[in-house]
């Protein structure tokens, strides 16, 4: 295994030689963002159990990897998420009401309830629409980075993926192209040890993901994915290299998926509770809180205040989304083409005039 970058020890002690360039305020803000992601996960998984949303995939245990990497790029940079990076969109200023609206799939959702929960999209935030199809975004992130280079912009592109996605053929093409053409794309792999039930040991015989970068001809950096400062630092360094014209980097954030793959997965079928318990003890939020407290950036009352605010914000956003009606039937037919062709107009009109209807039923198994 390559060296694993760590800034905060599991106890929350800091290595001062590695501390990234972040103001105290910003550090507290990152903490708040991690807590928001956790609170959303807790509430949404519950709503799913109550049948109020159809599906949910949590980021639980991976908040440092998501928030730490997402915070290291600016508003003009672009982001291609995978399933667990919704928090990056929030970091970029996306409205929490619209976020919960996407999860509920209601009219308030800017994408008209067309996609399953967690598939956010916001052009305004340079956060590219997520496809469920694993791996496809890695090549697209390479392409966006390439365009940035061709146009002479100093922007960079973040391309996220899970460990499973590194087995896709898209991963191979993306890294090959990106390195040959010195594309300013930073690939971030959240190695959470599982692709649904398939453990990392069955995903690849490689000694980690970061090491794969070398053969493609780019730096590979392994980082403690439960250490928000280390993830931030690794991403910040990679982004600086990309902006300077030195090409792509592959970052492997080593972390763990605490919940099942999604609301429909029973992880007890394929993994040990003991392993989960061990990783729970490495909780990234708690680790960061210990550091912030020891460094005097927060005290118990501030922590309490942040938690209350986060809880209230999330509650209010859920309320707003649930108060919104279903998207209109018209939205099935719009955005297929720039202009609606005749055959779609015909199908739309027929549907709007139709009597009776189908039953709204079914439950997602995965």
Residues that bind other proteins (CB under 8 A): 54-55, 105-106, 112-116, 119, 131-135, 164-165, 167-170, 195-198, 202-204, 264-265, 269-270, 326-327, 329, 331-333, 336, 343-344, 347, 351, 354-366
The answer to the question of residue 283 lying near ligand TPP (CB under 6 A) is: no
Percent helix, percent strand, percent coil in the chain, to nearest 5:
45, 10, 45
How far is the C-alpha of 273 from the C-alpha of 277, rounded, in Å? 6
Q: Is 70 in the site for ligand TPP (CB under 6 A)?
A: no
Q: Does 216 qualify as catalytic in the annotation?
A: no
The helix or strand, by DSSP H or E, that contains position 56, with its residue range, turns out to be none
Q: Which of residues 133-192 bind ligand TPP (CB under 6 A)?
A: 133-134, 162-165, 190, 192
Question: Catalytic residue at 257?
Answer: yes
Q: How far is the CB of 349 from ligand TPP (least distance, A)?
A: 35
Concerning whether 345 is annotated as a catalytic residue, the answer is no
Q: Does 206 bind ligand TPP (CB under 6 A)?
A: no
User: What is the distance between the alpha carbons of residues 358 and 288, in angstroms, rounded to a whole number?
Assistant: 49
Query: Rounded CA gap, 274 and 264, in Å?
Result: 21
Element (H, E) at 36: helix 24-49
Among ligand TPP, other proteins, none, residue 319 binds (CB under 5-8 Å by kind): none
- Catalytic site residue from 125, 241, 257, 289: 257
**What region, left, alpha or beta, does residue 167 occupy, with left being phi > 0 and alpha being psi -120 to 50 degrees?**
alpha
Comparison of 32 and 271: residue with beta carbon closer to other proteins: 271
Measured between alpha carbons, how far is 192 from 249 in angstroms, rounded to an integer? 19
Pick between residue 167 and residue 176 the one whose CB is nearest to ligand TPP.
167
Q: Which residue's CB atom is positioned nearest to ligand TPP?
A: 162
- Least spacing, CB of residue 362 vs other proteins, in Å: 4
Q: Which of 84, 92, 261, 289 is catalytic?
A: 261
> Binding to ligand TPP by residue 220, rule CB under 6 A?
no
Within 10 A of 278 (CB to CB), how many other CB atoms are there? 11
Q: Collapsing DSSP states into helix, strand and coil, what is residue 159? A: strand
Beta carbon of residue 128, minimum distance to other proteins (angstroms, whole number)? 16
Binding partner at 83 among other proteins, ligand TPP, none, C-beta below 5 to 8 Å by kind: ligand TPP
Q: Are 185 and 142 in contact (CB under 8 A)?
A: yes
Query: Minimum distance between the CB of residue 54 and other proteins, rounded to whole angstroms?
Result: 4
* 196 binding ligand TPP? (CB under 6 A): yes
Q: Residue 69, interface with ligand TPP (CB under 6 A)?
A: no
Q: How far is the CB of 152 from ligand TPP (least distance, A)?
A: 33
The interaxial angle of helices 284-294 and 228-243, nearest 10 deg, is 90
Q: Are 56 and 44 in contact (CB under 8 A)?
A: yes
Cβ closer to other proteins: 300 or 354?
354
Least gap, CB of 71 to other proteins (angstroms): 28
DSSP string of 256-305, one letter each residue: ---S-SSTT--GGGTS-HHHHHHHHTT-HHHHHHHHHHHTTS--HHHHHH
DSSP track, 63-110 = HHHHHHHHTTS-TTSEEE--TT-HHHHHHTT--HHHHHHHHHT-TTST
Q: Which residues bind ligand TPP (CB under 6 A)?
A: 83-84, 132-134, 162-165, 190, 192, 194-196, 257, 261
- Active site (catalytic) residues: 257, 261, 270
């Amino acid at each position: 295994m390559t060296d694993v970058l760590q800034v905060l020890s599991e106890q929350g002690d800091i290595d001062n030689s590695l501390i990234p360039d972040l103001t105290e305020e910003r550090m507290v803000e990152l903490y708040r963002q991690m807590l928001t992601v956790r609170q959303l996960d807790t509430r949404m998984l519950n709503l799913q159990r109550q049948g109020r949303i159809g599906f949910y995939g949590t980021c639980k245990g991976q908040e440092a990897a998501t928030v730490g990497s997402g915070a290291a790029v600016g508003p003009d940079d672009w982001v291609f998420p995978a399933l667990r990076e919704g928090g990056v969109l929030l970091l970029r200023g996306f409205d929490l009401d619209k976020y919960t609206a996407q999860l509920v799939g209601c009219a308030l959702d800017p994408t008209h309830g067309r996609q399953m929960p967690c598939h956010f999209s916001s052009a305004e935030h340079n956060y590219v629409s997520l496809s469920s199809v694993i791996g496809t975004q890695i090549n697209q992130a390479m392409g966006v980075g390439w365009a940035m280079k061709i146009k002479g912009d100093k922007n960079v592109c973040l391309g996220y993926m899970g460990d499973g996605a590194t087995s896709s053929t898209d991963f191979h093409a993306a890294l090959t192209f990106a390195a040959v053409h010195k594309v300013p794309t930073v690939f971030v792999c959240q190695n959470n040890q599982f692709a649904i039930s398939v453990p990392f040991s069955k995903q690849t015989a490689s000694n980690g993901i970061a090491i794969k970068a070398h053969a493609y001809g780019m730096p590979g950096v392994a980082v403690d994915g439960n250490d928000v400062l280390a993830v931030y630092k690794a991403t910040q360094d990679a982004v600086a290299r990309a902006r300077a014209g030195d090409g792509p980097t592959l970052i492997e954030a080593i972390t763990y998926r605490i919940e099942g793959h999604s609301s429909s997965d029973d992880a007890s079928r394929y993994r040990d509770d003991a392993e989960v318990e061990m990783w729970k003890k490495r909780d990234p939020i708690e680790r960061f809180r210990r550091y912030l407290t020891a460094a005097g950036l927060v005290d118990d009352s501030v922590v309490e205040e942040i938690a209350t605010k986060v809880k209230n914000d999330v509650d209010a956003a859920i309320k707003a989304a649930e108060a919104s009606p279903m998207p209109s039937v018209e939205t099935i037919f719009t955005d297929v083409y720039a202009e609606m062709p005749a055959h779609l107009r015909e199908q739309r009109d027929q549907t709007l005039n139709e009597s009776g209807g189908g039953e709204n039923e079914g439950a997602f198994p995965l």
